[in-house]
Structure 1
């Protein structure tokens, strides 16, 4: 498994963010009984950069906390459980890993939301990574029933890594 973490901002996090990201990614894979080795990219940025991406890709001219860019579009496969059919197309031949996708997290938003919700920045980072991983697996929260599934799965992941509410 390869988790690339890039920090593209001067904003700082005063804790071991790489350890939290790794733990949550691994637990997300375990919670989904995901058997493939994966490659995922995590980019830590600021509000200005994430706002540009949010506008470009979602048509929303505002900063957001996290953006997820699955390599395998859920409209392409319908459900991550049918992934085996698509591995040859989305497979890094050098590393023998499935290219899962990219997540982009605004450190500024992470800090704002941690304060707003009254929990630690560590917990907020864990939540954003779990949330994004579920999007990379093909989950969404547009419909109320989808949102309940995502909340349940997020809570399970966060409980298992020690960042429950």
Structure 2
């Protein structure tokens, strides 16, 4: 299935990150059983940029690693299917799934903090965001968070992106 991953950047040097997203986002959508072609819009920014978006959109006055803005409210584990074709954009015939904003500053800092590559951190955050776009959440710190973490690890594991296999590699 042909998904559209539209990438914009406010920072330099993210070409390798963009290439990784073009692989991991469609893989996450496939792993979740999404049955429609989707569009995901991605913005690479820095901590200052994501802080401003977080403040304007969520009234949260701090930088973060990733923000997700879904276009629809899906139920976790119940992805859009061909029966949901009424959700497709009539002009492009794709499902506008939503927006993802990634802080390159946070990606680099968290990769160093957790002892794995920047690529692994980026892929983790992208999968995390895709799951948010598909209705997953982790605000309860209980079963929902556990469900989301299990899906993240399953998707990354299927791609061969694990903490152990990727320790420190760039």
Settle same-fold status: TM greater than 0.5: yes
CA distance in structure 1 between the partners assigned to 2:110 and 2:88 by the alignment: 35
> How many residues end up aligned between the 2 structures?
159
In the alignment, structure 2 segments of 5+ residues that lack a partner are 164-170
Q: What is the CA-CA distance between 1:71 and the residue it aligns to? A: 0.6
Is structure 2 residue 148 aligned with structure 1 residue 150?
yes
CA distance in structure 2 between the partners assigned to 1:30 and 1:83 by the alignment: 11
More helix per residue: 1
Partner of 2:39: 39
CA distance in structure 1 between the partners assigned to 2:95 and 2:18 by the alignment: 21
TM-score normalised according to structure 1 size: 0.88
TM-score normalised according to structure 2 size: 0.86
Contact 2:70 2:134 in 1 (8 A): yes
Greater shift in the superposed pair: 21-30 or 115-124: 21-30
The 5 Å alignment of 1:33-112 reads 33-72=33-72, 74=73, 77-78=74-75, 81=78, 83=80, 87-88=85-86, 90-112=87-109
The 5 Å alignment of 1:126-137 reads 126-137=123-134
Q: What is the CA-CA distance between 1:137 and the residue it aligns to? A: 0.2
Q: What is the CA-CA distance between 1:91 and the residue it aligns to? A: 2.1
Contact 2:32 2:79 in 1 (8 A): no
Cα 1:82/1:111, change in 2 over 3 Å: closer
Cα 1:129/1:69, change in 2 over 3 Å: same
Deviation sequence 1:106-165 (CA, Å, 0-9, x none): 001110100111110000000010000000000000121001001000001111222111
Q: What is the CA-CA distance between 1:95 and the residue it aligns to? A: 1.8
Structure 1 stretches (4+) deviating beyond 2 angstroms? 77-88
Cα 1:64/1:154, change in 2 over 3 Å: same
Cα 1:83/1:160, change in 2 over 3 Å: closer
Partner of 1:121: 118
CA distance in structure 1 between the partners assigned to 2:155 and 2:76 by the alignment: 19
CA distance in structure 1 between the partners assigned to 2:112 and 2:52 by the alignment: 24
Partner of 1:160: 158
